Structure 1
Amino acid sequence: RRLDRYEHVTLTGPKSPEALPDEMRRMDVGLIPFVRNDFTRSIYPLKANEYLAAGLPVVTTAFADLSDLQGVLSIARTDSQFIGAVEAAVRDRGNEERQRQRIEVASDNRWQHRAGDVRTVLNRTRTAVPSA
């Protein structure tokens, strides 16, 4: 509720999955402001891929290892870095090349691709470990 006082912040409440594409078209930047702690250290924020799939610039805190998304999102380690990254992301919003890169990275992170990666590792493990 404290955010309601800011002019450029809109709290929309829960949305149905069908409403999300229209809602995300109204956004300038996707934020993932998680606190870094023992719990969040092991979280993988699926929201990052959802924002990227919509072509949105993403700014996140340095709460977990997101190195696989480095280059298409901004990882801020301090409050001032977070603010600066949000400002830069808003300026970059209309950059079509960067938007295409974000969408491409999100496409590579679909469940079908992840399942294929797991299958490849399992197949390598099965051939590397002798049968009993």
Structure 2
Amino acid sequence: YHALGELIHISKALPNQPKIYEYDKMILPHLFYHLNEKALTSIEQTLKNTKSIEMDQELMNTAIEFLRNNLNVTDTANRLHVHRNTLIYRLGKIKSITGYDIKNFIEATNFYLLYLKKILIK
């Protein structure tokens, strides 16, 4: 019961979450939320030389929706109600701002970790 309440709390901290919470989709945010200070420091040291993921809200929403759609351009474009080329343009803009090519799984994972840090660890 306590764990479910905690997951709901974490879900509410993450913007644009669905109203139905799926436990298996919240494992990484849950783990990240509970990292101890030493682990957080280690992650910060590893990621400190990376560019910031600061960008306007439209681009951030685009990035997160792209990640939610398993890096699938067509599905993401449909969910955002934009043309496929518009999405590709935005992904390029995200790369130029952040240095992360989120079409690449490893870079998308690093981007997502920075996103979780920004949202959950204040």
Q: TM-score range by the shorter chain?
A: under 0.3
- Tell me: higher relative CO, structure 1 or 2? Use CA pairs within 8 A at least 6 residues apart: 2
TM-score normalised by length of structure 2: 0.25
Q: Report which of the two has the higher share of helix.
A: 2
TM-score normalised by length of structure 1: 0.24
